[in-house]
Amino acid sequence: MPGFELFGDKERKEVQDVMDSGVLMRYGFDAMRNGHWKTKELESGLAEKMQSKYAHVVSSGTAALTVALASAGVGAGDEVIMPTFTFVASFESILALGAVPVLVDIDDTLTLKPEAVEKAITPRTKVVMPVHMCGSMANLDALKAICDKHGLLLLEDACQAIGGTYNGKPLGSIGDLGCFSFDYVKTITCGEGGAVITNNENYYENAHKYSDHGHDHVGNNRGAEEHPFLGYNFRISEMNAAVGLAQLARLDEFIAIQKRNYTILREALSNIPEVVFRTVPDGGEENYSFLNFFMPTEELAQVAHQELIEAGVDGCFYWYDNNWHYYKKWEHLTEMKSLGKPPKDIIESLPDYKKADFSESDKWMSRNISCLIKLGWSEKEVAERAKKMVTAIKSSI
C-alpha cells in the first residue's frame, strides 16, 4: 500500500517547484509563487479522478473526516454510526465536534453490517459512516437505501481504499461526502494530508471555509476576508500537496502493481480449502491494498498468524488484538479518558460500550488475517512470498 515506496523524480520535481518560489502556503502570495498552486492542482486533479464536483484538501485524513462532518452541520449531540473495526480517527473526528460515535457491528465484508446499522438508528442519528477497511468497501447500495429511508447522510471513509470502485464509481464518490487520507503509509501519500470530496456545493463551501478559520476566500486579500462562521485550521502546506500531486498522477500505476501482487498471493492461498476470503459486495472492486482472509476458528487464525511471523512473512496483521483498529482495545474511548472535561452531550449520550455486545464483529475479526500488499516487491519476491505463506498456513492447520 505505501506510495512512499516508489518516491522518485516526479515527487522531487513538484517539491522543487515549491522550494524555488518559497511559497509554502496554499493561499495568497500570488506574485511570489511563479504560478504554482500545488494544493489547488491536487484538488482539481482529485475531483476529476474521483468523478466528483468538488475536492478540498486538508492536513490529514482525520481532519478530512472532521471537516466533512462539520460541513454537513454535524454538532453537539448528533449521533454518527460507525463500525467496530476501523481506525481511531473515526470516533476522534466525531467527538471533536461534540457528536456521539455509535459503534455498530461489521459483517464478513469487514465493514458496517447494514441490518445492524438500521437497528442502531435513533431520532438523533444524522450520519452513517462506513469505513472501507483494508482496500474493500461496505455494501453501499444497502447503506444508501437505509440513509434515504431515514433521511440520513452517507459519509464514506475511503482512507484505506482509494482507487477501489463500486458499480464502476470511485469509492468516496458514492456517499454525500467521501474522505481520503494521504498520510505516510497510505496508497498515495503527501507525508501528511487528506481530502474531502462531494457533489454538494454547500458542503464544499462550508468545508474550505471551516478548514481555514472561517475565511470566506473571496478576493485576494486574506486580511480583508469576511468570516461567516467559526472555523479552525486544518490547512495543508504546499510542500505536502506537491508530493501528493505527483503521487495522484501515479494512482493507476500503483493500483495495477497492487492488483498483480495481490492476485499472485490470492491464487496461491485459494488452494488451501480452510482459507476463505473476505466478501466483496456485488459490483465492488477492491484497491488491492490488503489481502484479507478468514481461518476456520479463532485458534487456527492465531496459530496461522504466528506461523507467518515465524516464516518471516512480514506485514500480516491479526487486527482482533490490535490497539488501533478494533473496539476491544479502545479503553480510552469506552472509559472516556480525556485530558479535560468532555462536552456534556457526549458524557450524557455516549453508549456504555463496556456492556455492549459485538459478538457478531468478534466472530469475523477473531478469524481474520490481513496481509499488506506492497508496491516495491518484484514478481519473483511475490512468488516466493506466496510459497512461504502457503507453507506457514498449511502447517498451522
Residues tagged active-site? 186
Quick one: which segment of 11-19, 22-30, 58-66, 347-355 binds ligand PLP (CB under 6 A)? 58-66
Q: By CB under 6 A, is residue 89 in contact with ligand PLP?
A: yes
87 near ligand PLP, judged by CB under 6 A: yes
Q: Give the binding range for ligand PLP (CB under 6 A) out of 70-78, 153-161, 309-317, 387-395.
A: 153-161
Closest CB 93 distance from ligand PLP, rounded Å = 8
Among 61, 101, 164, 231, binds ligand PLP (CB under 6 A): 61
In this structure, what is the dihedral angle of CA atoms 290, 296, 297, 298, given to the nearest 10 degrees? Answer: -10
| Distance from C-alpha of 244 to C-alpha of 182, rounded to nearest angstrom | 7
Q: Does 157 bind ligand PLP (CB under 6 A)?
A: yes
Stretch that binds ligand PLP, among 41-49, 57-65, 106-114, 116-124 (CB under 6 A): 57-65
Among 86, 206, 237, 287, binds ligand PLP (CB under 6 A): 86
- CA dihedral over 69, 72, 73, 79, signed as positive or negative: negative
Contact 197, 67 (CB under 8 A): no
The side-by-side arrangement of strands in the sheet containing 169-170 is 169-170, 165-166, 284-285
Judged by CB under 6 A, the residue of 79, 183, 212, 307 near ligand PLP is 183
CA distances from 238 to 43, 128, 133, 182, 298 (A): 12, 32, 28, 14, 46
Q: Cβ(263)–Cβ(87) under 8 Å?
A: no
Nearer to ligand PLP, 370 or 396 (CB): 370
CB of 108 to ligand PLP, least distance (A): 18
Q: How far apart are CA 140 and CA 174, in angstroms?
A: 8
Number of residues this chain uses to bind ligand PLP (CB under 6 A): 13
Tell me the residue length of the chain. Answer: 397
Exposure string for 77-88, b = 16+ CB within 10 A, e = fewer: bbbbbbbbbbbe
Q: Does 11 help bind ligand PLP (rule: CB under 6 A)?
A: no
Does an H or E element contain 93, and which? helix 89-96
**Which residues ranging from 115 to 144 are in contact with ligand PLP (CB under 6 A)?**
131
Contact at 8 Å (CB) between 154 and 114?
A: no
Q: Using the rule CB under 6 A, is 62 a contact of ligand PLP?
A: yes
- Count H helices, E strands: the chain? 14, 14
Q: Which stretch binds ligand PLP (CB under 6 A): 83-91, 142-150, 337-345, 351-359?
A: 83-91
Residue 308 CB neighbours (<10 A): 23
Q: Which is nearer to ligand PLP, 111 or 366 (CB)?
A: 111
* Of 2 and 281, CB closest to ligand PLP: 2
Pick 60 or 237: Cβ nearer ligand PLP: 60
Q: Is 257 in the site for ligand PLP (CB under 6 A)?
A: no
d(CA 16, CA 246): 12
Judge contact between 151 and 217, C-beta under 8 A: no
**Position of minimal CB gap to ligand PLP:** 61
Contact range with ligand PLP by CB under 6 A, out of 112-120, 154-162, 197-205, 213-221:
154-162
Contact 47, 198 (CB under 8 A): no
In the complex, minimum distance from the CB of residue 89 to ligand PLP, in angstroms, rounded to a whole number: 4
Integer angstrom CA distances of residue 295 from 5, 109, 281, 301: 30, 15, 20, 5
Among 136, 160, 261, 334, binds ligand PLP (CB under 6 A): 160
Instruction: Based on the shown chain and the rule CB under 6 A, indicate whether residue 317 belongs to the binding site for ligand PLP.
Output: no
159: contact with ligand PLP by CB under 6 A: yes
Find the binder of ligand PLP among 194, 231, 281, 343 (CB under 6 A).
194
**181 near ligand PLP, judged by CB under 6 A:** yes
Binding region for ligand PLP (CB under 6 A): 60-62, 86-87, 89, 131, 157, 159-160, 181, 183, 194
